[in-house]
Structure 1
Amino acid sequence: MSSTAKFSSQTCTLPSLPELFDHNFLECLLPTTNGEEGFEWVNSSPDASVAGGSSELATLKAFKGLNVRSHKSLYRIDALLHDSWSEDPELTLRLIWNLRSIRDGKGEKELFYRAFGWLYEHHPRTAISNLQMVVAPVCQTSRGQSVPHGYWKDLLNILALVTCDEILDFHSRPGNFLRTYTPKNTFSLTKDALEDQTCRQRTKKQHRHHSRLVGKLAISEYRALYIGVARLFAERLRKDIQALDQLRSLDPNSEREQYRAIQQTISLAGKWAPTPGGSHDRVTNISTAICQLLFSTNENAGSDAIGPLPSIAPHPIPGDASNCTIYRSYYQRWILKPLRETLACPEPLMSANRWNEIQYSRVPSLCMARNREHFVLHDPEGFHLHLAQVQSKKRKFSATSFLPHELVAEAAEVQKAWDAAREEEYPKVAAFKRSIADQQLDDNAVRWWHLTSRLDWTSSFPNAIAVYALSESPVSLPEYDKTNVNPIFPSIALSLVLAYLTQPPFDSGFITLSETPTFVRLEGMRESVCLSDLVNDVLSLKVGGNPDLQAVFSRVLLPLAKEHNVPNKDMIKRVYIFSNMHFDHAAGIVTGPWWLNTTSETDRASRWEEIYSDSIVKAFEKAGYDVPEIVFWNMTGERTLRETVEDDLGRKGVRIMSGFSKEMMRSFWDEAQENGRQERLLKFIKDGDAVGVEGSDDEEEWMSLNVMPLEGMRKALFKTSYDGLVVLD
């Protein structure tokens, strides 16, 4: 569809929004009620944790339960968030942002949208006031760079989903804002008839969109959300345009340092800002609101005003359709276009067939993955040169958005394409396909190296080893479905990541969990080894059967440490178990199908405590080693009949994490952020009363109980990047 067609069919006007120009718009539209004036909430400091009896904390339950599996379970998401918020609002707010955080959390974008929808419905002031924390550069990378939890497009997605009434349930139908659906029954129409039908349908649809928008803007909560998103974009674009004006006055050669310093202050708001007539703008007209903030003169002009920028007229312009179109075209030509050129956005260059002008070091990781084959086809020399420079560390490489299991799935897919090329009938075609696959495998290997080497820069973390613990040995990898991830992908990926980071003599290897667990060393994995080769090596291993978790410690880990005379300070401190089984199955406490098991929860807990205390703990103490901490990582996806969310408060010495993000694993490792032992106020529920145990005889008993899951949640949620979140209602 051409831009002209978009503009001609879209009604781009807005009703009067006087609060748009008021920086106190939230108080005007959603004033504090009498009940909220004295509102107080429990301040969930990282030094406080409360647990009662054998019941699980609602916040901990939500932390574990809100994962990739819970996307489509609306009732479950609502119940978990409601109970968690009732227990601790601030911690729940951190938990919601943790779902989105690419750097410090789970990176579950759609699950975050769903959780934000719950927050917007029940606590709109809190939801809207914290929108800026999605895009604020509050996360720190290993190189000292500041990056946001999400990206600017999240704001537009949230607004569009709320506008389309899909924020609480965007999985219920095949066609929705996030997943467009095109009917395939138009083949019987002629080209002219199809164009005419499409034009009429487009006009009717845009009229429906505008009518719905006008109705939504009459609702105070929606109007506050709408204005909040518009002001965030307008404020950031104003700053970026000012920085761009400074760049134009500098010589990039003679004033290089100053030029680069100013260039780095320009955000990605210009890239993701709504394009007039684009998908987000068609349902929200948000471009018009941003234009009004940037260009319109208003009665609130002053230190808090966003605009006006130098515009096409020094006087107020009426907000009719014709003038709104002028505003929007000016905004696209003089705001978006120069910012996107400065940011070196690859999409305009790809559309214009200017492939050799693409700066591959500026291409985002997801864009690189989706268009890698196009880069190879249209600019093979430039792309190959980029990969060579990355491998020689002459160029930086962006792989932040990729999770380890995604790279494993990609390597397997490309390897299948390479193998299929051998069956090609025509030799030249086969050679061409193999050459493309070779470059794709090289690119995949570079990104895997970047990911592992980046984690290797962590300043301090306990020695850890992986246990690869699937219920059965896979013959080959299944088809990868990013909306329904098979547990084998993250299990293999995280086992490889941990094998890369583990220190000698446990380096380059992990333990397989089976009837006879073994330590497997992958030779040369720290060298330039293709990731697909490593994946094939893992697939050849024997796992499953009747697993013997006790043997992992007594027959594998301890003998290996004794053989190499490993001192206690260098001994493994944590054992990560990556599995698709229930913990009791992995530990050998329960055999056979879970639903046929009749053993009580108490008996299973007692059996594990017997194994842990009488076998594992005594064996390590006898050998002079500290007992390693056991982390059972839930890898279960929707393909499994039963969700493996373990009640880990009943399993001594074990803690659990859910989600696939590499940063969730790093949250356990980043001990360097904690200088020494922090002063903690521990509350111990005993005989119905809370007793302070700091420095008392009860402290050792409390620490011997199962506080490790709480500690894991605390480390994940009390990073400084979440400190800006505030609860208002």
Structure 2
Amino acid sequence: MDTNNPSNSGEKSPKTEMTPPQQPPPAKKVKTTSMDSSFPVLLPEDPCLRMSDAEFEVHIFKTLPSLAGLENAVGGMLIDKDDDSSAENEETVKLKTTGNTFIDALDRTAADAGGEKAYDAEMARKNRMLTTNAGMAFASTQSPLLELFNQVDHDGDEELLKGTLEQAWEVDALTTLKIIWIARSIHLGRGEKGLFYRQLGWLGQSHPRTLLQNLKWLYRPVIKKDAKKREGDEQVVVEKVGGGEDGDKMEVDDYDVIHGGSHGYWKDLLNILVLSVGEKLDMSDPNQVLLADHRIPKKRDDRSRAGGRQRGRGGHLQEERTKAHAKSPMEQKVASKAKKARRHEHILSRLATDPFHRALHLTVARLFAEQLRKDMLLLEFDNKNSNEAALREISLCAKWAPSLEHFHDKHTLIASTIAELLFPDSALDPDHHSEATHALSREAYLKRAREHYRAQTLSPLRKALSIVERDVSAQTFSNIQYSHVPSIAMNKYKKLFAKMDCQRYGDYLDDVANGKDTISGAILTPGLLVRNVMSDKHLPGVTSLDSTVADMQWKTLVQRIKDSGTLSSAIAVCDVSDSMNSPLTQHKIAPKHNAIGLSLVIAEATQPPFGGRVITFSKNPSIHIVSGASLTEQVNNLRFAEWGYNTDFIKVFRHLILPLAVENKVPPEDMVKRVFVFSDMQFDQAQPNNAKYDRETKKVEKYQWQTHQQIVEKEFREHGYEVPELIYWNLAGEAGAVPVTSEMEGTALVSGQSQALMKVFLDSGTFGEEEEDDDDDDDDQEGGENQKMEVVE
């Protein structure tokens, strides 16, 4: 008998609860590759992929409609129409007579009370308009090129932007093209992607060949920068695959500037392609497409979710996501598959029916494939020879190249085309004439090519580049070299670094503070850094981190400006009135943040005795001596200035600068020579009474038409001083209401929030022009490439 069995021991077995049989543990998820994905990758085979560059250009340009001369013809039609309408308008202005002179006089008085029509006509004739604060200003710069250069967003006024571009192109097409690129240029221009994409939309519609021909100038490092040359930084020469003879060698750096900067980045090409496939490469807001999938929280409480449904694009997407979560897993899977199929069908349709989109798709793919090949050769050369110079020459193409099934690939399937260029079927199967290869379906081939693209190209190149996102995704923060993290990534991930790698990140910041290490920050805008140190909406401790990082990045930014050159006899005038609190950018940066940041940059870059000083103006202007070693201290110091109220620009000169000069008998040679005005240009009324129509004299007094610039010039000369050069920097302006015209000497118009354009005004700057008018021999020395933008009709 088994005494261990209770049923055999004679004892009553205790009552136990019945438990269900244990289920076997779920099978461990097998790691898969893109080969196992159901993501649709199929694109039709295109013979253009196997053409040489010259053959491709000839072939693809033939498929595009020729628009040369169309604009001039339309322009002529519009001019004729305007002339006819003007004559017609002149006739309609005349009031019909009643036959009774007294009644006619009453009618004229009622129709023109106060002489408004005469006043408006005179305003238009004199190129005048009023600011929102009733200040007299010019209605136009009277130069289409300057109007385009000074272009502000205008709240998405597509017709206004289109008209400005067309007029500028008619005056000088090449200069217009360069101004469009200046809108994007990170190192020499405004760094504004939104405005640039809108202008490219017009370019694609009006001059598609020109757009395609110049895409390469977005990412090529053609801007000279002041960088220390390292040993071994000469051009790296590597052998092509299968080469060995001189004819098979190539200079990878055959057209670019060593350690140079680019106007844009590789991701611009992908963004442009996404806009095109969605039929939104036009003058509408590109963010409606490019930000549609981004940063929509997956989980929100009922209250915030309900509120989200009522607010804009984000609320709409959140509502759609909420509906999706209400479906069963099977329904979600079916819906997702159907959505992918619809998107795939749309991609195929766009490639088949729109010649420009097909040309753009193929051009972008070829540009990526060409650079990735060069970078892989450099990586292989480094692996074989341990050549650090080769490693430093690897571009950032792989960083921005489309990841499989992510945003850009999902909407365009561009990764399929790049993969096909890099890995033709002959490269995947040496015996590509075999029956097995021929039996392989095109879809299966593309999946193999895409997997090779991911594993054999993107992965090793991104590893070599130490792309920070790789370690963030894998949570291997100990691998991150913080001194190599780009400024935008540092600003984005700083809180995550502090949380996940507290000790190392803290030690790194200490080293930066003590001058033992460096931090990137040169391409951040001053307004972003000022906003970071002014924000009071963060938790304690986080605010301290924001300020600490911003202070360090500020020093890097200022040093880059100082390395580019210096200013002398200059001072900034900073508008801190109420109107500068809006509009906010998508990063919550107000014009006031930009005004303060740019003014402090001027104060830092200007030599004594004018350096370290800022003039603030609103109701009462005041000169402020900037104190404090850090950005946080400097901004807090400026907060003691009088902020708010109105925008009395004339008081800066009439009640501050000129009285100080006169009372202290300042000689003309010691007077300020250059004044930067950071404002929204909505100045207050400068005269006791603005221009009014006088019924008795039937005219407007001449002096009342004077703008702020004209008044400043007059009063300086009356006191025996030369007028300083005035740089009007528009930070939030509306259409029209410009302070000067193109023919007014000693003035400049600038707009945007980037400090890069400041380099134009620096003395002995080391940032050269991206294009120089050198002899043709120089082109041969640069590898035979003509480094010039061109207009192609």
TM-score (norm 2): 0.70
Q: Does 1:14 align with 2:16?
A: no
Letter in 1 for 2:538: A
Q: Any idea what the Cα deviations from partners look like across 1:674-695, whole Å, max 9, x if unmatched?
A: 99xxxxxxxxxxxxxxxxxxxx
| Displacement of 1:663 | 0.9
* Aligned mates of 2:468, 2:220 — CA distance in 1: 24
Q: Secondary structure at the match of 2:197?
A: helix
Q: Which amino acid aligns with 2:399?
A: K
* Structure 2 CA distance for partners of 1:19 and 1:609, relative to 1, 3 Å: closer
- Residue 373 of structure 2 corresponds to residue 216 of structure 1: no
Say if 1:485 and 1:81 are closer, same or farther in 2 by CA, change over 3 A: farther
**1: CA distance, partners of 2:505 / 2:658:** 48
Look up the SS of the partner of 2:41 in the other structure.
coil
Partner of 2:538 in structure 1?
417
| 1:231 equivalenced with 2:327 (yes/no) | no
Whole-Å Cα distance in 1 between the matches of residues 759 and 786 of structure 2? 16
Q: Which moved more, 1:314-323 or 1:15-24?
A: 314-323
The reply on whether 1:490 has 2:490 as its aligned counterpart is no
Equivalent residue number for residue 18 of structure 2:
none
Per-residue deviation at 1:637?
A: 5.6
Residue 449 of structure 1 and its aligned partner are, at CA, apart by 1.2
Alignment of 1:394-405 (within 5 A): 394-405=516-527
**Relative to 1, partners in 2 of residues 1:4 and 1:190: Cα closer, same or farther, differing over 3 Å?**
farther
- Alpha-carbon distance, 1:17 to partner: 0.7
- Per the alignment, in what secondary structure is the counterpart of residue 146 of structure 1? coil
* Secondary structure, aligned partner of 2:319: coil
The 3 A distance-change label for structure 1 pair 643 and 38 is closer
The 2-side partners of 1:335 and 1:283 are apart by 21
Distance 1:668 1:243 in 2: 38
* Residue pair 2:41, 2:413 contacting (<8 A) in 1 also: yes
What is the Cα deviation at residue 343 of structure 1?
Answer: 0.5
Tell me the residue number matched to 1:702.
none
Letter matched to residue 588 of structure 1: A
Q: Distance in 2 between matches of 1:57 and 1:170?
A: 25
Paired residue for 1:135? 219
After superposition, the Cα gap between the structure-2 partners of 1:217 and 1:615, relative to the gap in structure 1 and judged at 3 Å, is same
Paired position in structure 1 for 2:136: none
- 1:537 alignment partner in structure 2: 637
The 1-side partners of 2:675 and 2:342 are apart by: 57
Partner of 1:632: 728
Instruction: Give CA-to-partner distance per residue, 1:324-345, whole Å, 9 cap, x none.
Output: 1111111111111010100101
Q: CA–CA distance in 1 between the matches of 2:750 and 2:741?
A: 10
Q: Given the alignment, which residue of 302, 306, 315 partners 2:432?
A: 315
Q: Determine the C-alpha separation between the residues in 1 that align with 2:666 and 2:196.
A: 44
Deviates more, 1:311-320 or 1:487-496: 311-320
Could you tell me which residue of structure 1 aligns to residue 333 of structure 2? 199
Corresponding letter in the other structure for 1:224: A
Q: Does 1:349 align with 2:471?
A: yes
The secondary structure found in structure 2 opposite 1:139 is coil
Shift of 1:673: 7.2
Read off the aligned partner of 2:621 and give its amino acid letter. Answer: P
Q: Which amino acid aligns with 2:191?
A: G
Matching of residues 20-31 of structure 1 within 5 Å: 20-22=49-51, 23=53, 24-31=55-62
AA aligned to 1:122 is S
Distance in 1 of aligned mates of 2:348 and 2:579: 57
Q: Does residue 1:57 correspond to 2:143, yes or no? A: yes
Residue type at the aligned position of 1:466: A
Letter in 2 for 1:402: L
TM-aligned CA distance change 1:632 to 1:401, over 3 Å: same
Give the drift of 1:495. Answer: 1.5
1:125-159 CA distances to partner (integer Å, 9 max, x unpaired)? 11011111111111223337301111111111111
In structure 2, C-alpha distance between the alignment counterparts of 1:33 and 1:199, rounded to whole Å: 40
2:755 matched residue in structure 1:
662
Please tell me whether residue 384 in structure 1 is matched to residue 506 in structure 2. yes
The number of equivalent residue pairs is: 619
Alpha carbons of structure 1 residues 496 and 330: separation in structure 2 relative to 1, 3 Å: same
Pairs within 5 Å for 1:517-666? 517-524=621-628, 527=629, 529=630, 531-543=631-643, 549=649, 552-553=652-653, 556-557=656-657, 571-583=671-683, 585=684, 588-589=686-687, 603-606=703-706, 608=708, 611-621=711-721, 626-636=722-732, 644-649=737-742, 653-666=746-759
Mapped partners of 1:107, 1:16: distance in 2 = 37
Partner of residue 383, structure 2: 248
Instruction: Tell me if structure 2 keeps the 8 A contact 1:107–1:661.
Output: yes
SS in 2 for 1:214: helix
Offset of 1:76 from its aligned partner? 2.1
SS of the residue corresponding to residue 249 of structure 1 reads helix
CA deviation vs aligned residue, 1:444-465 (integer Å, no higher than 9, x gap): 1101111112112223444310
Instruction: Indicate the structure (1 or 2) with the bigger Cα radius of gyration.
Output: 2
Q: Which amino acid aligns with 1:240?
A: D
CA contact (8 A) 2:202 2:282 kept: yes
Contact 1:630 1:653 in 2 (8 A): yes
* Aligned: 1:725 with 2:754: no
Q: CA deviation at 1:539?
A: 2.8
SS of 1:266's equivalent in the other structure is coil
3-state SS in 2 of match to 1:199 = helix
Kept after mapping to 1: 8 A contact 2:583/2:732: no
C-alpha separation between the residues in 1 aligned to 2:498 and 2:474? 17
Percent identity over the alignment is 30
For the residue of structure 1 that corresponds to 2:726, the secondary structure is strand
Shift of 1:538: 2.1
CA contact (8 A) 2:620 2:642 kept: no
| Change in CA separation of 1:198 and 1:170 when aligned onto 2, cut-off 3 Å | farther
Distance 2:421 2:459 in 1: 18
Note the C-alpha offset of 1:487.
1.9
Work out the CA distance in 2 between the residues paired with 1:120 and 1:539: 46
Letter paired with 1:165: E
Question: How far apart in 1 are the matches of 2:611 and 2:287?
Answer: 48
Structure 1 letter corresponding to 2:550: N
Cα separation, partners in 2 of 1:523 and 1:31, compared to 1, 3 Å: same
5+ residue gaps, structure 1, are: 42-52, 252-258, 298-307, 422-433, 676-720
- Deviation per residue, 1:653-703 (Å, 9 max, x gap): 54321111101122222565799xxxxxxxxxxxxxxxxxxxxxxxxxxxx
What letter matches 2:601 in structure 1? Answer: V
Mind listing any 5+ residue stretches in structure 2 that lack a counterpart?
1-28, 73-125, 128-140, 229-258, 295-313, 693-697, 769-784
CA distance 1:17–1:71, shift in 2 (3 Å):
farther
The 3 A distance-change label for structure 1 pair 5 and 138 is: closer
1:155 lines up with 2:281 in the alignment: no
Distance 1:511 1:468 in 2: 6
- In 2, the alpha carbon distance for the partners of 1:346 and 1:34 equals 43
Q: CA deviation at 1:647?
A: 4.9
C-alpha spacing 1:11/1:503, structure 2 compared with 1 (3 Å): same
Alignment partner for residue 278 of structure 1, among 375, 383, 406? 406
In the superposition, the TM-score normalised over structure 1's length comes to 0.76
CA contact (8 A) 1:582 1:646 kept: no
Query: Which residue does the alignment assign to 2:454?
Result: 332
Partner of 1:167: 281
Rounded to whole Å, the distance in 2 between the matches of 1:160 and 1:601 is 56
C-alpha distance in 2 between matches for 1:653 and 1:391: 41
Residues 487 and 524 in structure 2, CA contact (< 8 A), matched pair in contact too: yes
**For the residues of structure 2 that align with 1:485 and 1:652, how far apart are their CA atoms?**
33
Distance 1:371 1:620, change over 3 A: farther
Asked if the contact 2:569/2:672 (under 8 Å) is kept, the reply is yes
Moved more, 102-111 or 196-205: 196-205
Aligned AA for 1:383?
Y
Question: RMSD of aligned C-alpha atoms?
Answer: 3.9
**Residue type of the partner of 1:284?**
T
Q: Structure 1, residues 360-391: CA drift from partner, whole Å, max 9, x if none?
A: 12222111111110000001111122222333
Asked if the contact 1:405–1:489 (Cα under 8 Å) also holds between the matched residues in 2, the reply is yes
